[in-house]
Structure 1
Amino acid sequence: MFKEEKDKGFSKVETIIGPSVKVEGDFFGQGDIIVQGVVLGNLKTKGHLEVGAEARITADVEAGSANIAGEISGNLTINENLDLSSTAKIKGDIMVNVLSVEKGAQINGKISMDKNAAEKNKALNPKADSEKMN
């Protein structure tokens, strides 16, 4: 199920956070992001997010689509497809359009599936968007 996605590659990879890298703070991008290290803060991209099996993210995450194999502690808002591999561990709420979960993946939180995930998240948290502007 996930092998096909990985074989396609990424057309717009802008950022790779390697296994020895730790990023602290808010991280925003337009293209695809690959995380193999540690991210603390907020992570947002309009593109695709790939989280490796050894990656650790403590952040609220927003992405166009995502493949998760590592650990995320924080809420996820994914506009399109979210694929969780067998090694994925999510501690937080998930708002997504389409969800695929491999046997063995762990989710500790609420899952909301909606075609307009991003718009609903903004409506629920208008303060978060205004704080980002300041």
Structure 2
Amino acid sequence: MFSKGNSSNSDSFDTIIGINSKIEGNIETEGTIRVDGKVFGDLKINGDVYVGKDAAILGNIYANNVFISGKVEGNIESKGILKVHSSGKLYGDIAVYSLVTEEGSLFEGKCKMMAVNQPEDVPSVSNTKKSKNNNKTSAAE
């Protein structure tokens, strides 16, 4: 059930959906979930989501971090990292802070990278352009 490439152990999951299980409906939980079976519905998880190699999810996923080794057909919103392992297949749009795809993985959809707040001492692009224009104006005078 747990692949050698996945560093998680069974103690780290609050909910496990076994390989022979089929769930129809939305799932919400505060902790981390591992799916090895089939889920037809949305997952709203305040922890992390692990999708096993033989798992299939037909629905949207909202979570902190998402690790896909199986198949997901749906949109994903991750507050942290989305990692698609080499055996993973993802069909859907994503909105994430960080995206990692291994060689051999499949991703079909649109990707929106959410910005992390910039430090205050780093000028934004619009401020940089403005200061260059001001320099050109000053040089012309």
Alignment of 1:1-134 (within 5 A): 3=5, 6-9=6-9, 12-115=12-115
Identity among equivalent pairs (%): 34
Deviation at 1:10, TM superposition (A): 6.9
1:14 Cα offset (Å): 1.2
Q: TM-score, normalised by structure 2?
A: 0.75
What is the TM-score normalised by the length of structure 1?
Answer: 0.78
Which has the greater radius of gyration? 2
Q: Which amino acid aligns with 2:15?
A: T
Query: Secondary structure in 1 aligned to 2:97?
Result: strand
Q: Matched residues in 1 for 2:61 and 2:96: separation?
A: 12
Unaligned 5+ runs, structure 2: 117-141
Q: CA RMSD in A?
A: 1.8
1:7 Cα deviation from its structure 2 partner: 2.3
Q: 1:44 offset after TM fit, Å?
A: 1.1
User: What one-letter code is carried by the residue in structure 1 that aligns with 2:49?
Assistant: L
Structure 1, unmatched stretches of 5+, are 117-134
Following the alignment from structure 1 to structure 2, what is the Cα–Cα distance between the partners of residues 77 and 94?
6
Q: Alpha-carbon deviations, 1:40-80, whole Å to 9, x = none? A: 01111010110001000000111110110000001000110
